[in-house]
Amino acid sequence: MKGNQLIFKSGNLVFLFLIFLVLSSCGSARKARERKIDTVIRTARSYTGTPYKWGGTTRSGMDCSGLLINSFNAIDYPIPRTSDEQRKIGKKVKLEDLREGDLVFFATGKKKRKITHVGLVTSARGKEKVQFIHASSSLGVVENNIFSNYYLERFRYGRRLIK
């Protein structure tokens, strides 16, 4: 009987140890994701004030997709060059489910469905408090609230690249 109890206790210890490993790896995976997103956002913000230049990818001038290419390159995560190509990667996310690090896509042209602009969510603090950074054609690299009338009317969807 004592031998069986010892095996049972040993089995419990192994089981508890495995649960501990699984739970600790979930926490470390979440922290790794958060570090990557922080790096992407910090990199994007380092371009604040950079003037807009169609096709640009440097501090002397950049466009919206160029900003995101540079930001994701900071974590060695290559993404396509244009907002139209970027809209095809990652998992689609609804407005109410946006999180920091998500890409946000807009139709700013005459065609209401054609994606022409992209930004990066920098802060998601509840309903109607979602900030995103982007390269505005009139202001250069800036942060705005996605719930402003202009952007809300043109918002189409988000995409999550980093899980």
Per-residue pLDDT tens digits for 146-159: 999 999 999 999 99
Region at 55 (left for phi over 0; alpha for psi -120 to 50; beta for the rest): left
How far is it, in rounded angstroms, from Cα 135 to Cα 120? Answer: 10
> What's 51's DSSP letter?
P
Tell me what pLDDT residue 16 has. 46
10-43 tens-digit pLDDT: 555 555 444 444 444 557 888 999 999 999 999 9
Longest pairwise C-alpha distance within the chain: 80
Give the residue ranges of the chain where pLDDT is below 70.
Answer: 1-26
Q: CA quadruple 45, 46, 52, 53: dihedral positive or negative?
A: negative
Residue with tokens 């470390």: 28
Q: Among all residues, which ones are annotated catalytic?
A: 64, 117, 134
How far is it, in rounded angstroms, from Cα 91 to Cα 76? Answer: 19
How far is it, in rounded angstroms, from Cα 14 to Cα 93? Answer: 39
* Neighbouring residues of 62: CB distance < 8 A, sequence distance ≥ 6: 47, 50, 52, 53, 56, 70, 135, 141
Question: In this structure, what are the phi and psi dihedrals at residue 71, rounded to the nearest 5 degrees?
Answer: -65, -45
How far is it, in rounded angstroms, from Cα 93 to Cα 40? Answer: 19
What domains, with CATH codes, occur in the chain?
11-17+26-160 (3.90.1720.10)
Tell me what pLDDT residue 109 has. 84
Tell me what pLDDT residue 127 has. 76
The answer to whether the predicted template modeling score (pTM) of the entire model surpasses 0.85 is no
